[in-house]
Amino acid sequence: MKIIPAIDLKGGKCVRLLQGRAEDSTVYSDNPAETAKRWASMGAEIIHIVDLDGAFSGTQANLESIKAIRKAVDITLEAGGGIRTAEAVEGLVSLGIDRVILGTIAAKDPEFTKEMSHRFPGRIIAGIDAKDGKAAIKGWVETTGQDALELARKMEACGAAGIIYTDISKDGMMAGPNIEATRRMAASVSLPVIASGGISSLKDIENLLTINGLWGAITGKAIYSGSLDLAAAIGLTKKGR
């Protein structure tokens, strides 16, 4: 299982939101590129980048910061937030982003996910954010009636290369991930599934390691606040390999 540090961008700065609420943000750094270097130096093999301004508005607003991160580190980068057109996908790929995350558009227009997955094989990830088992969109401000597991199976049929599953109720709360919901998600598809939301300690990592087929886990607030040591978490996943 890969431990994936998150860099959430708002106004060009690294921030964390509480349960996805824009008004509940904490600024952790005004230098995203240096933050990326820090996580890479601790052994991170992948960094998860979200353009929060883009997620809320539908228009990317932090491309300069994403460019700076790409120049700063030589590891896999995945990015999302406001990616709702073919031009936006192409733009990130041209910047050297390895994997592009489709969220709102994946839930609203599966055919778009299918088209992008065929055009960029192995590089399109579906972001499924769930509240009470239902998919949420537009930076989590809208909940759809779609069942998250059904959406995951749909994304698999569309050719997505993986799924990032976030339990909104857990995100930024430092209360531990939703293990059972994540287990159900990992069991529902044969795609790589990455868990997100609520990870706050090494114990949470141990619990996630019990989920068969879980490919990765994204952590944000915990590594910024210091409740989780990124290097220790990465080391834990490599034990017994």
Q: What is the pLDDT of residues 113-137, one digit of tens each?
A: 999 999 999 999 999 988 877 787 6
Q: Coil, strand, or helix at residue 31? A: coil
Q: What is the pLDDT of residues 4-61, one digit of tens each?
A: 999 999 999 888 766 555 655 678 888 999 999 999 999 999 999 999 988 778 778 8
Rounded-to-integer distance, Cα 30 and Cα 28, Å:
7
User: Please, what are the domains in the chain?
Assistant: 2-234 (3.20.20.70)
* Nearest residue to 4 (alpha-carbon basis) of 56, 39, 33, 50: 39
Q: In the 8-state DSSP scheme, what is residue 1?
A: -
Q: What's residue 138's pLDDT?
A: 54
Residues annotated as catalytic are 8, 129
Q: Which residues pair with 46 in a beta bridge?
A: 76
Q: What's residue 24's pLDDT?
A: 55
Rg of the chain over all Cα atoms, to the nearest angstrom:
16
Burial group, residue 111, by CB count within 10 angstroms (0-12, 13-18, 19+): exposed
User: What percent of the chain has pLDDT above 70?
Assistant: 89
Q: What is the pLDDT of residues 184-196, one digit of tens each?
A: 999 999 999 999 9
Confidence category of residue 232, pLDDT binned at 50, 70, 90: very high
Q: Is the pLDDT of residue 175 over 90?
A: no
Burial group, residue 118, by CB count within 10 angstroms (0-12, 13-18, 19+): exposed
pTM of the model: 0.90
Question: Is 77 or 198 the better-scoring residue by pLDDT?
Answer: 77
Q: What's residue 25's pLDDT?
A: 65
Q: What is the pLDDT of residues 144-159, one digit of tens each?
A: 568 999 999 999 999 9
* Nearest residue to 9 (alpha-carbon basis) of 37, 48, 39: 48
Tokens of 79: 């990015």
Q: Longest C-alpha distance within the chain, in Å?
A: 44
Q: Is the pLDDT of residue 82 over 80?
A: yes
